Amino acid sequence: MAIQWYPGHMNAAKKKAAEQMENTDLVIEVVDARLPEASCNPMVEELRLFRQRPCLKILNKTDLADPVATAAWVAYYNAQEGVTAYAMTTKKAAEVARIPDLAKSLAPHRGVPTKPLRIMIMGIPNVGKSTLMNALLKKRVAKVGDEPAVTKQQQKLYLGKNTILVDTPGMLWPKIALPSDGLMLAASHAIGANALIEEEVAVFLADELLKRYPALLTTRYGFKDIAAMDGIAVVEGVAAKRGFRQKGGELDFEKASHTFLGDYRSGVLGRISLETPETRGVLLAEHATEMAAKAEKAAALAAEKAKAAANGKRGT
């Protein structure tokens, strides 16, 4: 299943963000620490690079992510020009409190009465932007919800006297190139429920966890022979362990899928990362090879058609 989700308000949000970027000194991009690259919106980088704005990339929800993978991602992003990475969770006030000073260090010429520091906070749906805004300002200024795309309009707020925050709606991009990115985003609840089939997302997640964290599955669900299982067997095992059955006694795969995804999203399964810089590199290389093969095939077909057309003309 190729997952795509780009509601109309996101296109409008992109246009407003592009307009606002001209009057922005710094971009804070919030990503999900469990899938940092999959949850990076390429449009954010495009907009900020066009205006040459520095980026404070916040890897949020570190309490849910594998700490080893998170450390690797921080090093990966810090090696990029114009990017400073900061791993944190909004559940720890001390970690939130560090953000203003980090932001000022990236735009030292701003943050005074005559030149306030202007920050745009960006990110995809459900990565914790609104929760971060509320934590920074120590009051409820942004609507928070368990569903993606709760925030739909830009709002401007003041963090002290000399810092302006612009909160933007969560934005995805028109076409998710890598199918696995769409599935990771769906598993992490960044995609609207109307754009996915929960059972397929659960099987994808189960397959990933079998490769990366089989021990966590055994600990949570008490599986006896995890090495012999695939993603479908894991979800069926959840149904059996929880007693999820339909009328007639068949396993309730749909309910088990919902429960399994909920266990991952809430952190009940443990601290999990769905990608690392290394696995991302492999994935991108495979995708590039696949795209090159498709382009070669398309070129060959075009050449055949052109040759056939030329022969037809000569024949007449």
| 259-311 tens-digit pLDDT | 999 999 999 999 999 999 999 999 999 989 988 998 999 999 999 888 888 88
| 65-110 tens-digit pLDDT | 999 999 999 999 999 999 999 999 999 999 999 999 999 999 999 9
User: Which pLDDT score is estimated for 233?
Assistant: 97
DSSP string across the chain: -------HHHHHHHHHHHHHHTT-SEEEEEEETTSTTTT--HHHHHHHHHTT--EEEEEE-TTTS-HHHHHHHHHHHHTSTTEEEEE--TT-HHHHHTHHHHHHHHSTT--BTTB-EEEEEEE-TTSSHHHHHHHHHTS--S---SSS----S-EEEESSSSEEEEE------S--SSHHHHHHHHHTT-S-GGG--HHHHHHHHHHHHHHH-HHHHHHHH--S-GGG--HHHHHHHHHHHHT-B-TTS-B-HHHHHHHHHHHHHHTTT-S--S--HHHHHHHHHHHHHHHHHHHHHHHHHHHHHHHHHHHHHHH-
| 109-144 tens-digit pLDDT | 999 999 999 999 999 988 999 899 899 998 887 665
- Judged against a pLDDT cut of 50, whether residue 148 lies above it is answered with no
- pTM metric for this prediction: 0.87
pLDDT band, very low/low/confident/very high, at 151 (cuts 50, 70, 90):
low
Higher-scoring residue by pLDDT: 288, 169:
288
For range 25-29, the mean pLDDT: 95
Residue 45: closest CA among 173, 155, 185: 173
